[in-house]
Structure formats: structure tokens, C-alpha cells
Chains A and B, each alone.
Chain A
Amino acid sequence: MTAVTVFTVDGEPLPFVPGQTLAAALVASGRIAWRTTRGGGRPRGVFCGIGVCYDCLVTVDGTGGQRACLVQARAGMAVTTGEGDDA
């Protein structure tokens, strides 16, 4: 296993293997949902895994509406979750 590095999710460090997407790192840590819907407040996380469904939206370094399944994790990235879907 090569060196594992970290980014932060809502301030908490989350380890990842360089090359993984944010979604892969989140799922590897046991998190399968990290957002709630605007209407019903239902939990959402990774669903399609290939950038089509937009269920896995997160905020990356202050920019909302990022698909966690497409964004490559980078050391020091600040990811925030839990927002509705109008980010």
C-alpha cells in the first residue's frame, strides 16, 4: 500500500489513496450518503458513480455543485457536505 494522504470533510480529516475520487474515498470510509434533498430532506450520496445523476454533490474549497464521483481527491482539499441541492 502506498502512502495515504488526507483531505477534510466538514473539517474532519479523511484518508484517501491518491487517484481516488472524493466519492470513492468517502465510500471507502463507510460513508454512502452526505447530502439531503431540498424537498423531503432525504439522504443522498453516490448513485450512478459516473457523473450523470448529480446525487453526490459536494462543495469543494468553497465551490458548490461539485460531483464527488468525478473530482479527484487532492491532499488538503476542503470538502463540505450536507447542503441542499441548490448549491
Chain B
Amino acid sequence: MREPSERGPDRSSEHSTREPSRNATGGHPEHPEHPEHPEHPERPERPERPERAAGLPSEPPDLVVVGAGPAGMAAAATALDGGLRVALVDSGAAPGGQFWRHPPDHAREAVPTADLHHDLPAYRALRATLESHRRAGRLALLLNHHVWTAVRAEHGFAVHAMDRSHPPEERAVVLHAPALLVATGAYDRQLPFPGWDLPGVLTAGGLQSLLKGGGVVAGRRVVLGGTGPFLLPVAAALAARGAEVVAVCEAAAPSNWLRRPLPLLRDPAKWAEAARYAAVLARHRVPVRTRTAVVAAEGDARVAAVRTASLDGDGRPLPGTERRIDADTVGVGWGFVPQLDLLLPLGCDLADAGDGTLAATVDAGQRTTVPGLYAAGETCGVGGAALAVAEGRLAAVSVLTDLAAPGRPHPRRTAGVRRTAARHRAFARAMAGAHPLPPAWPAWLTDDTTVCRCEEVTAVAVRTAREEGRASDHRQVKQLTRAGMGWCQGRMCGPAVHCLVAAPGRPYAPAERLIATPVTLGALADSVEPPSATT
């Protein structure tokens, strides 16, 4: 039997692409999104000519897009419309990313989620465009593929992924392309508080993903806390699906928006969106408490109650304002952290995104400082789905230009997208200004509050590392305490540890991780086997 062609690239792929035409797209005889084979009870046999059987492109892509969220979908659609061959890679079971998270296509009827989504017509239009190109053999849509590293190669980039369509099996896949777009999005930023590691306390995004991806409401009585407009759609979705949302605790003051009203006034769509959520929350009598935070969660095997408090201007709990609220589920989120795992080792410049995080530095066409490497969406600074779609389109126009492809969109149209992006970016900046991390949040911590969930490092251990070990960033704290050394590699505690030890005003710079997702040695060995050894 012929081996799949992705085993071609060799160990030295960083320096040489001996066989650049060999790529992953030939090795997927039955892809999970393939409608005729929704269940895959067993791993199918590989046919003799898998690329023919699957109707997938046999030629290597011009562009690899990592992340099939709003930015990646829009970028792939524009690049495909312009005549490029594209490989769109995502770890999820359906395109959409977190914003448009969906169950896999075969489960659409069993797990209905259409009512939970915003701007679904845009999603459906992008899906239709992508699907027509997939049928034409120009798009390889690689779902359930976890990209663990991307490296510069002689003619562009080598993108290493693990195909996890049939867990726990994993199969190594390497894609080569002259252009790479990283649209890997962001994840919820967390600030620890006493009891945040109790079962039943989830990230706000986690509650949303269980709901949008699996149709599951994680609890009966829910309290949401943190800051930012994202808390509202989560509350609205949970309430609409029958959960009792007993409080939404927003740390920021609504008057923050009045300091920079212009971006809000220029974005009437955001008003409409906010009004829609407000209407849902009013209908379900969900109280939204501003300048309020969840300062502790209590319970034994599961959270049973939270304590909330009103905050002063710095975010310090005001004495005498504490309340205890019974709840079996808590969702927390303090904005988002851009997912830079793939970009950091590639060495592109990063800059302060204005919200305490670092993001990729890009030009007006979403080009990073590394030639051939583009970024769009939250990796360039958190700004929401509409901005991500615009940035994805702009990135694709740049790829079309830089690869001298024939089908560039009309410059007037591109200028329009650029104006849209500028408007959304101004809104995002205003939003970050209106929803800052409260500087005094460490006042909520007790000595024994867990800061690093993986290694169970406490607040007092981090403080000791700062005061006695003179640690001034999260890397030094990691060496002294093991905070950030566990399974998640500091993705959860990194921003918080940074706040606890770094000089005020310095943005959080995530640690460079050579491997973005754990991979097994066996599957790795597969990826470097020369083709001659396996035929």
C-alpha cells in the first residue's frame, strides 16, 4: 500500500524542502467534515490514490492558514477567490473558531446552536465560499489538525500538525507553502481568586464553548464575573437555554465609556448588538452589577456559593459591600490573551496591544516583520470577530499581491475593508480602555490562593519569589516556584503572575514554547521517516 505523501518532508525541513510538492492533503481519504461519512466508527482503509478518493487537492498550497475562525475563514475565502490554493488548518471539528464555534457538521440537527450565534449569515456565506473551493479541489480543509510548530523553510514555511481525527491516534502531517497566515485567535485571560480552582468555576469562554459546541448548559445557577462585553453574550446564551444567571459582575464602571465615546458612536452595529443582549438579559431578569467582582468561590467538591464585592476606583473591594450568592457554576473572564504560540518561535516583532498583552506587529496589509508570514484577528490584538474578518481579508489581499496572483480584488473594495478595519480597531482600543484589569486585584488573594492551577503554586509562594527571590517577571517566578511549568505551560497563570511581579505598565510577554501542543514521540517519529522506509 502506498504511504500517504505527507511523510515526505525530512528532519531538516527547516533548511531544505527537498520535495516541496509533497504535502499533507493527499493523506485524508475520508475527512471528518465529509458529509457521507459522519460517524467514522473505525479508521478507514487508505485507498491506493487517496487524493483522488477524497477529491482533495493533490498540489501543494500557496498559502497555509492556521486557524479557521472568523479571520482564517475570511482570509482563506479571499485568497481562494483570488486564485490561490489554500490549506486551512484548525484543531476544531468544524470551522468557526471560538466566536462561531459549532458542533461538527454531522451533528447540526442533534445539537442545534443557531440561536446562540451572532452574525450567522456572514458565517454561512464564508462556509459556502469555502465549500465551493473545496469541491473544486483548491481548498484543503484540515479539521481536527493541531499545529504544533511552524518553521521557516527554503521556499517559505513548513507547518507541522497532528491529525487527531481519530483520537487517541495521532498522525503527523507537514504542509509546505510560500505563505503562512497565523490566525490562531485568543483565549480568556484569568485572574486568580480564592476558590477559582473549584470544580464548577469555568472560564466564560469555557461555558460558551460547551454551549455552542455541545449544546450543554454547564450549571443551573450561574454567576458571571470579570470584565468586558463578552460577559453579556455568555449570560444571554445561558439564560436563553434555561440557566438561572443570578448575577453578572462587571468590574468596570459604565462611565469609562464616556471618556472615549466617539468610537462607540461610530459603530452603530455594536450598539445594536449590545441592545440585543441587554434585551435578553432584561427578559430573563439577569442583574448586571458594575464595579463589582467575584472575589471568592466557596464549596467542597463543587462551587456552592460566590462572594462578590463592590470595587473602588483601583479595584479594591469596598469594606461592607461583600455579598454571598448561592451558585453552582461560575464563569470568569478578564478579556483575552492573543494566542502567539506559533508566532513567537518564528521571530516576528510583537508590540503592546494596549490591554496589557502583546500582539503581532503588522503593517496595513497584515504582514508581520517576517517575510511571507501574515497575521490576522486576535493575534494582532483583541478586537472581535468583525475586525478579524476584515483583517483576514486584508491579509489575503497582501498574499495575493506578494505572490503576484492574478485575482486581486478591486483596490476600491480593499480600501473599504481597510476603513472598516480601522473603525473596528478604534472601537477595540476604546473597549480595552473602558475594561482595564483593576490594578488592585491582588487584594482579593489570600496567601493560600492557588495561582498556578497545574503545579498548585500559591499566592504567597509567588510573593516570596518577588520579595526574597527578586523575581521581576513570570519566567523567574517559574524557576523559583514551578508556576507555569505544568501541563498548560503558564497559559492560564502567566498573565496573572506577570501582574503580581512585573513593573506596572509592562505588557505580558508569553513564554516561547517550541511545541504549541503536546505530541507523542511515536507520531513525531512517523513524521520524519523518509518515504523509502515506509513503502
> Interface of A with B (CB < 8 Å)?
1-2, 17-21, 23-25, 27-28, 32-33, 37, 39-40, 42-55, 57, 60-63, 65-66, 69-72, 74-76, 85
7 A–B contacts from the bound complex (CB under 8 Å): A17-B110, A27-B210, A33-B302, A42-B197, A43-B198, A57-B487, A60-B167
| Structural contact, B201 and A17, CB atoms closer than 8 A | no
- Output the least CB separation between A34 and chain B (Å): 9
Q: Would A53 and B167 be within 8 Å (CB), given that A27-B210, A27-B216, A43-B199 are in contact?
A: no
List the 7 closest A-B pairs by CB distance, nearest first: A19-B107, A24-B214, A49-B206, A63-B168, A54-B487, A33-B199, A49-B209
Q: Which of B13-21, B44-52, B267-275, B450-458 contacts A (4 or more CB under 8 A)?
A: B450-458
- Output the least CB separation between A79 and chain B (Å): 10
- Output the least CB separation between A64 and chain B (Å): 9
| Structural contact, B302 and A54, CB atoms closer than 8 A | no
| Structural contact, A32 and B487, CB atoms closer than 8 A | no
* B363 beta carbon closer than 8 Å to chain A: no
Chain A hits for B40, CB < 8 A:
74
Q: Which of B98-106, B371-379, B413-421 contacts A (4 or more CB under 8 A)?
A: B98-106
How far apart are the CA atoms of A6 and B455 in the complex, in Å?
33
How far apart are the CA atoms of A40 and B197 in the complex, in Å?
12
| Structural contact, B214 and A2, CB atoms closer than 8 A | no
Q: Would A43 and B301 be within 8 Å (CB), given that A2-B110, A28-B214, A54-B454 are in contact?
A: yes
* B205 beta carbon closer than 8 Å to chain A: yes
- Apart from the given pairs A27-B214, A33-B301, A85-B487, 6 other A-B contacts in the complex at a CB distance below 8 Å: A24-B216, A37-B456, A46-B206, A48-B188, A53-B453, A74-B41
How far apart are the CA atoms of A45 and B218 in the complex, in Å?
12
How far apart are the CA atoms of A62 and B117 in the complex, in Å?
37
Chain B hits for A76, CB < 8 A:
41
How far apart are the CA atoms of A40 and B454 in the complex, in Å?
11
How far apart are the CA atoms of A33 and B303 in the complex, in Å?
11
Complex partner residue of A17 from B107, B164, B188, CB under 8 angstroms: B107
| Structural contact, B214 and A65, CB atoms closer than 8 A | no
Residue of A whose beta carbon sits closest to that of B94 = A19
Chain A hits for B157, CB < 8 A:
none
Interface of B, secondary structure class, is loop
| Structural contact, B215 and A71, CB atoms closer than 8 A | no
* B93 beta carbon closer than 8 Å to chain A: yes
- Output the least CB separation between B1 and chain A (Å): 24
Chain A hits for B91, CB < 8 A:
51, 70
How far apart are the CA atoms of A20 and B210 in the complex, in Å?
9
Chain A hits for B201, CB < 8 A:
47
Interface of A, secondary structure class, is loop
Residue of B whose beta carbon sits closest to that of A41 = B456
Chain B hits for A47, CB < 8 A:
201-203, 206, 453, 492
Chain B hits for A49, CB < 8 A:
202-203, 205-210
Question: Please, how many residues of chain B have a CB less than 8 angstroms from a CB on the other chain?
Answer: 53
Complex partner residue of A48 from B168, B206, B216, CB under 8 angstroms: B206
Complex partner residue of B107 from A20, A51, A69, CB under 8 angstroms: A20
How far apart are the CA atoms of A47 and B493 in the complex, in Å?
13
| Structural contact, A66 and B214, CB atoms closer than 8 A | no
Residue of A whose beta carbon sits closest to that of B98 = A50
* B95 beta carbon closer than 8 Å to chain A: no
Chain A hits for B484, CB < 8 A:
none
| Structural contact, A19 and B104, CB atoms closer than 8 A | yes
* B109 beta carbon closer than 8 Å to chain A: yes
| Structural contact, A21 and B213, CB atoms closer than 8 A | yes
* B518 beta carbon closer than 8 Å to chain A: yes
* B530 beta carbon closer than 8 Å to chain A: no
Residue of A whose beta carbon sits closest to that of B38 = A18
How far apart are the CA atoms of A65 and B109 in the complex, in Å?
31
How far apart are the CA atoms of A2 and B106 in the complex, in Å?
11
| Structural contact, A18 and B453, CB atoms closer than 8 A | no
| Structural contact, B488 and A52, CB atoms closer than 8 A | yes
Within 8 A of A (CB), among B469-525: 486-488, 491-492, 517-518
| Structural contact, A42 and B456, CB atoms closer than 8 A | yes
Q: Would A85 and B210 be within 8 Å (CB), given that A48-B203, A66-B168 are in contact?
A: no
* B187 beta carbon closer than 8 Å to chain A: yes
Greatest chain B CB density within 10 A among A2, A24, A52, A62 is at A52
How far apart are the CA atoms of A62 and B202 in the complex, in Å?
27
Greatest chain B CB density within 10 A among A21, A71, A72, A85 is at A72
